[in-house]
A and B are shown apart, each in its own frame.
Chain A
Amino acid sequence: MSLLEVEDLEVNFYTEDGTVTAVNGVSYTIDRGEKFGVVGESGAGKSVTALSLLRLIDNPGRIESGEIRFKGRNILEMNEDEIRSIRGNEIAMVFQDAQTALNPVYTVGEQIAEAVRLHFDYSKERARERAIEMLDRVGIPDPAERYTDYPHQFSGGMQQRAVIAMALSCDPELLVCDEPTTALDVTIEAQILELLKDLARDFDTAIQLITHDLGVVAELCDSVMVMYAGEPVEYATVDELFFDPKHPYTVGLMSSIPRIGSGEEMLQTIPGGMPDLIQLPPGCSFHPRCRYAEKVCSQIDPRMVDPDGKPVDGLEDRRGASCLAYTDEMDGDLGYEVSVEEEDNE
């Protein structure tokens, strides 16, 4: 049994303009110690999926249907006390903007110690020691000194480390990282990713990493789910994703990565933008932007299938793409190719 199994999750937001289906039929599993990436544009439903894991969806949002099984227990059926004992203790979350994720009126150390004391029966003194240990663990120099610092006295990278320390303070089995490095510069980003990698290795912590940066995925993840407009469009291992992408959206994301020295004047893009989630296009929701789309794409909603056309549920099989090209309903082929250039060392 996997550590986490999400099955057919659907989350709606009831707004004044109508019902927004932010997450629609998402299924995936994460094993112990696995590093699972969730990739997609802004508004693809990545963060909502993550918040659903801890049932942190607030009004006007509602988890409509589906199951989230953590170690076999359905999180959506737990009562308030049970879910609170899971939050922070077994599933912890690292937020995107560390600066606002820390409370300005308490010292960094107090906030980490609070997380410890919420779940462990520690004395004040022991919680303090534990917090200092965690600060040290995430690579903050002089942790005992820094314990009494307020968040505004930390630099951006250190704030992010502090947020990670807070998330790790209760030895969670699953760490949900919502774009943990987006607000940071590349050197700090590399350090944070390295840190996450170490943690997954040393403590067998599973990581669900949400990002729109494929470079981060390549760096850290074992397997990946690509999301578009609230739905999964491709499941792959990280190697498959980069060397053999199957869904046109994934291909579009990859071809729009800028490359130093490629000599191209214009950045490749996927034309258009994410559709308004109040009303999705008929058929495949990606078809208005897809360069390989045919008439049939606006008529038939593609199922998730593996490259041979066999249906895939995202739970047992973890290789698939939802594109009609693999079910022979499309006439043409997907006319892209992936080439690997030899590394140029001079």
Chain B
Amino acid sequence: MADLAKPLPQFTPGSEPYWDALSNHELRLQRCHACGTFRFYPSPMCHAPDCMGLDYDWAEVSGRGEVYTYTVVHRPVSEAWVDDTPYVIAMIRLDEGPVMMSNVVDCEPADVRIGLPVEVVFRDLAEGVTLPCFRPAS
């Protein structure tokens, strides 16, 4: 049944600090040294319109945000997700600004709506691999 395992995220050069922090159950994003803007997805250059900063640190964020948009998936991407179906994929706008894709968990899919306040919850997938998911804010 090895086929039914969900594929683990494929790490890319430069993103190790993101995944290392997650395995310690911390959500850390790049923050530009020049202008202080947080960004996601991890990338070499600051995303701010007027900044070309290349230097950054990995700063912890609140893990709080809201649902920008979402879908309830009824036809899973592969058999590995059958037990989770229906599942919610959402774009989460963090309080710090960046938007990340995630799952909204620990609630009924029908309760998810645009604007729903959410908070991060950490799902350990394997040794050293943790996925940030979100649940309705307490």
**Real complex partners, A and B?**
no
Tell me the A residues contacting B by CB distance below 8 Å: none
Tell me the B residues contacting A by CB distance below 8 Å: none
